[in-house]
């Protein structure tokens, strides 16, 4: 079944989804992210990397200043903003593509939106900060609603899921209803099943296999398999190839966006996968 087309409203523009898979380039300005922590702590280096990802084919840049790797601990709003603000200030007006900020804190979201950010990617699925939905509504921001079980500190202790797809679909549907009651328009939402984020290896593989089930929610779908531990690779080359395979599977499963670290390489993967996806029935 071909992907449904959507018009995603984000601040002052609309993004067409469904004609091709959009690439969301990851920019972590953290010291401890699971694959590239510390690489882009320097604001000038982070800005240069964002511009390079746009040149390589990224359709959005997703900037994160707090790690959500397994066992990571929360950072204060002050520390998160100290990492984030210099990068957003340098990037303002330099990118033709939208910037998303990966945060669950309404205070961070508000400050980021004041600096021209158009999308908030909440890793907690609008569950940690009840004020975030109100902030999104005030700024007419786009939002990516990511599914998370527990917290990074508790993931290792969580029980397994008998039916991960049903659990994630049910939780995301509840989140969508809560967001709409808070005034967030459905046309501003994208959902993400949260590969990793409290799921075990085989549960992530099953979620990818069953991505078509999320069409029932009638909201655009993003997936982020890039460099995740469930890919079970130890070498950089192995991880890149495994990511390419997972990205392909996600596209053939109907996602509208993929969140990736290696934009240039995944742009090639997306080109081939999209050509195949158009013929799926």
CA dihedral sign of residues 21, 68, 133, 141: negative
Torsion of CA 40, 90, 118, 270, to 10 degrees: -50
Instruction: Read off the DSSP letter of residue 157.
Output: G
The Cα 266–Cα 268 span in angstroms is 5
Task: Note if 228 is an active site residue.
Answer: yes
**Cα dihedral 201, 192, 49, 64 in deg (nearest 10):** -90
The 3-state DSSP class for residue 199 equals: coil
Strands across the sheet with 257-260, in order? 189-192, 142-146, 119-122, 99-102, 60-64, 22-28, 257-260, 222-223
Q: Which of 152, 126, 121 is nearest to 25 (CA)?
A: 121
For the question of residue 259 being annotated catalytic, the response is: yes
How much of the chain is in helix, strand and coil states, percent to nearest 5? 45, 15, 40
| Catalytic site residue from 3, 20, 111, 228 | 228
Catalytic residue numbers read: 228, 259
């Amino acid at each position: 079944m071909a992907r449904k087309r959507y018009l995603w409203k984000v601040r002052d523009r609309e993004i067409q989804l469904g004609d091709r898979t959009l690439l969301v380039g990851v920019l972590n300005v953290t010291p401890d992210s699971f694959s590239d922590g510390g690489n882009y702590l320097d604001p000038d280096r982070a800005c240069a990397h964002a511009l390079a990802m746009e040149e390589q084919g990224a359709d959005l840049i997703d900037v994160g200043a707090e790690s959500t790797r397994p066992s990571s601990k929360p950072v204060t709003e002050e520390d998160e903003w100290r990492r984030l603000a210099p990068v957003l200030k340098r990037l303002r007006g330099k990118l033709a593509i939208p910037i998303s900020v990966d945060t669950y804190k309404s205070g961070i979201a508000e400050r980021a939106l004041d600096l021209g950010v158009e999308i908030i990617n909440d890793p907690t699925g609008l569950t940690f900060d009840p004020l975030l939905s109100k902030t999104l509504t005030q700024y007419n921001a786009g939002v990516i609603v990511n599914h998370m079980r527990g917290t990074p500190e508790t993931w290792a202790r969580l029980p397994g899921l008998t039916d991960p797809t049903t659990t994630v679909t049910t939780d995301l549907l509840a989140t969508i209803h809560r967001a709409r009651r808070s005034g967030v328009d459905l046309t501003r939402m994208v959902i993400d099943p949260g590969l990793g984020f409290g799921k075990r290896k085989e549960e992530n593989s099953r979620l990818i296999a069953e991505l078509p089930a999320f069409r029932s929610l009638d909201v655009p779908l993003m997936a982020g398999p890039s460099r995740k531990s469930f890919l079970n690779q130890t070498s950089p080359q192995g991880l890149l190839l495994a990511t390419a395979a997972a990205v392909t599977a996600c596209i053939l499963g109907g996602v509208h966006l993929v969140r990736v670290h290696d934009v240039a390489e995944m742009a090639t993967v997306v080109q081939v996968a999209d050509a195949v996806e158009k013929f799926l029935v």
